[in-house]
Amino acid sequence: MDLEEKLQKGFKEHEKEHSKYLEWLEMTREKNDEYFEVIRELMPIFFDYSKKCSHKKTILALIAFQTHLSTLKNAIIDLSEDNNIYSMKALYRIYLEHWLKGTYIWTRYTKEKNDDVGIEYNRLGRIGEELKYGNSIKQVSAILDAETKNLDVWDTLCKYDEKLTKLSKKDITDNIKKFEYKSIAKYIVDNKAPGADWVSIIIPEYSELSSFVHGGPGASDQYSSTLYNKQFEEYEGMIRFAFNTCRTFAYSVFVLMLKDLDNKEKEQILPLLFKLQDKNGMIS
């Protein structure tokens, strides 16, 4: 078999796999549409609940993660149809981080049964982002030899938020580390949280996919090895994990309402929760 024949055979096999994948994707989209309809019916009930619940910060953080996971999952599906492998893998890495963080917040909340984790997430998360931003300005200033190169980021933040002056910088930075992915992964495993068995697979994959986010050379290597090789197999793997974990996470968040609803409200949402819990709605 000469080179041209090999190329033609390879192209035909690729087209066959592509056609098979599109059939699978159509089935996936149908299940995704069913999922969306359930969420659409649940959201107004959940928003009413969030106004009167006792742990607003955590509940709103969880519904935000549910929404973000769903948005990322939809984008991953769309990118696969466009054969945009690079963007798909970069977005999948972002999805994994969101899922880890959302699972951490849910697990702590169900164990502690108070609003602490939601308050910490909002408070410490914002301080952490502001510290990073301040440090980036300081680094740029050092490069440009600007006046702000000697900026004390913590002291500057304290001037804008007097509450910070009552806190220890070390305590703040130590607590911020709770929300870093390594600490989160350990917490999920130690507490046997939902998805704890997946962490040993996710963390190496999370690290490998970082190249796609940060523009590392490993991304080009992975891109080349995936293209026209195990392309559609990888598409299915990423979409399957994103869809199933997103659906499971949604159920785990919405089911939190049950204990505070009256019988009439429970009758309204139970059929919807059963739909989310139905294994037939998952992607195999």
Q: Tell me: the pLDDT tens digits for 182-236?
A: 899 999 999 999 888 988 888 888 888 888 888 888 888 887 777 667 889 999 9
Q: Which tens digits make up the pLDDT trace of 55-90?
A: 999 999 999 999 999 999 999 999 999 989 999 999
Q: Which tens digits make up the pLDDT trace of 131-187?
A: 555 555 555 445 444 455 556 665 666 666 666 656 666 767 777 778 888 899 999
Q: What is the DSSP string of the chain?
A: --HHHHHHHHHHHHHHHHHHHHHHHHHHHHHHHHHHHHHHHHHHHHHHHHHH-S-HHHHHHHHHHHHHHHHHHHHHHHHHHTT-HHHHHHHHHHHHHHHHHHHHHHHHHHHH-SSHHHHHHHHHHHHHHHHHHHHHHHHHHHHHT-GGGG--HHHHHHHH-GGGGGS-HHHHHHHHGGGSHHHHHHHHHHTT-TTGGGHHHHHHHHHHHHHHHHT-HHHHHHHHHIIIIIHHHHHHHHHHHHHHHHHHHHHHHHGGGGGGS-HHHHHHHHHHHHHHH-GGGS--
- Of 71-80, 97-106, 244-253, 259-268, which gets the smallest average pLDDT? 259-268
Q: What is the pTM of this model?
A: 0.84
